[in-house]
Structure 1
Amino acid sequence: MSKDRDNQSYTISEVSEMTGLSSDTLRYYEKIGLVTSPERGAGKKRLYTNADIGRIRFLTYLKRTNMPLKKIQQYVESYDHHDEAHCYELLDEHRQEIERQMRELEATKQIIQFKLAHFQEIKDGKLKEGYE
Structure 2
Amino acid sequence: MEPTTYTIADIASRTGLSYDTIRYYEKIGLTPPAKRRDNGQRTYDSIDLERFVFVTTLKRTHMPLKEIERYMAFAGDRNFEKSYEVLHEHKLRIVAQMAEMNAALEMMNYKLDYYENMVSRMKNLSVREPDSADETRQSPDFVGSDRPAR
TM-score of the aligned structures, taking structure 2 as reference length: 0.80
Moved over 2 A (4+): 126-132
Residues 32-57 of structure 1: per-residue CA shift (max 9 Å, x gap): 11111111013100001011000111
Alignment of 1:1-132 (within 5 A): 8-125=4-121, 128=137, 129-131=142-144, 132=146
Q: CA RMSD in A?
A: 1.6
Give the letter aligned to residue 62 of structure 1: L
**In the aligned structure 1, how far is the partner of 2:44 from the partner of 2:103?**
42
**In the aligned structure 1, how far is the partner of 2:95 from the partner of 2:66?**
20
TM-score of the aligned structures, taking structure 1 as reference length: 0.91
Q: How many residues align?
A: 128
- SS at structure 1 position matched to 2:117: helix
**In the aligned structure 2, how far is the partner of 1:28 from the partner of 1:13?**
15
Post-superposition offset of 1:125: 1.4
**In the aligned structure 1, how far is the partner of 2:65 from the partner of 2:46?**
23
> For the pair shown, which has the larger CA radius of gyration, 1 or 2?
2
Unaligned stretches of 5+ residues in structure 2: 123-135
**In the aligned structure 2, how far is the partner of 1:13 from the partner of 1:107?**
40
Give the letter aligned to residue 88 of structure 2: D
- Identify the range of structure 1 (119-128 vs 76-85) with the bigger mean alpha-carbon deviation: 119-128
Give the letter aligned to residue 56 of structure 2: T
